[in-house]
Amino acid sequence: MSYINPFKLIIMKKVITVLILAVVIVACTQSAQKEPANTVTTKKAIASVDGKQLEQQLWADFKTVNIEAIAEKMSDSFQSVHQDGARNKEQELALLKNLNLGEYQLTNFEVSQHENVVVVTYMATVTETIDGKVLTKEPCSRMSVWINTNDDWKWISHANLNPLK
């Protein structure tokens, strides 16, 4: 059995809690938009999505450094958190441009969906260098949040707490 640093676990739990709260707030504010009093509306059902497939395609784009495809998938409201801090969409894209991704393995997927929000957690075992910083190859928890807007799934949030060496 591998040792999990309790400090990392505490930080990860706090980050995941903050990300989930952010998603709930975004989802609530979008659904709380006011409509005129005498308007009849019909909510279109959001089809379920394969969150694992969304994430696997994203990683394929990471591997080939397909910045255009990644940017297209990202919400303008995107936020990520890494061991060294938080980033917005532009900052994350700048980081990803300098990503050198080796072989990777994604396992232990857990996917949950509530209406137009999908949360995907998984373990990533990967050799990666970001901005010249080598990250550990140990399996590390990751989380992505996707939101459906206008029948299109957008990547709105990501947590990567893989420690820098």
Domain membership flag for residue 33? no
Domain membership flag for residue 40? no
User: What predicted TM-score, i.e. pTM, was given to this entire model?
Assistant: 0.72
What's the alpha-carbon Rg for the chain, to the nearest Å? 17
Question: What percentage of the chain carries pLDDT values higher than 90?
Answer: 52
Domain membership flag for residue 151? yes
Burial-class residue 112 by CB neighbours within 10 Å (0-12, 13-18, 19+): exposed
Any idea what DSSP says for residue 14? Answer: H
Q: How confident is the model at residue 42 (pLDDT cuts 50, 70, 90)?
A: very low
β-pairing, 117-130 vs 133-134, is: antiparallel
pLDDT tens digits, 54-96: 999 999 999 999 999 999 999 999 999 988 899 999 999 999 9
Task: Select the highest-mean-pLDDT range: 6-15, 18-27, 93-102, 133-142.
Answer: 93-102
Domain count, the chain: 1
Can you give the residue range of the structural domain that contains 154?
A: 6-28+47-160
SS3 content of the chain, % helix, strand, coil (to 5): 35, 40, 25
Domain membership flag for residue 1? no
Look at 20-29, 70-79, 91-100, 147-156 and tell me which has the smallest mean pLDDT: 20-29
Domain membership flag for residue 84? yes
- 58 against 48, higher pLDDT: 58
Domain membership flag for residue 90? yes
| Long-range Cβ contacts of 8-17 (<8 Å, 24+ apart) | 8/161, 8/163, 11/161, 12/141, 12/159, 12/161, 15/81, 15/159, 15/161, 16/121, 16/143, 16/159
120: CATH: 3.10.450.50
Domain membership flag for residue 73? yes
Question: What percentage of the chain carries pLDDT values higher than 70?
Answer: 70
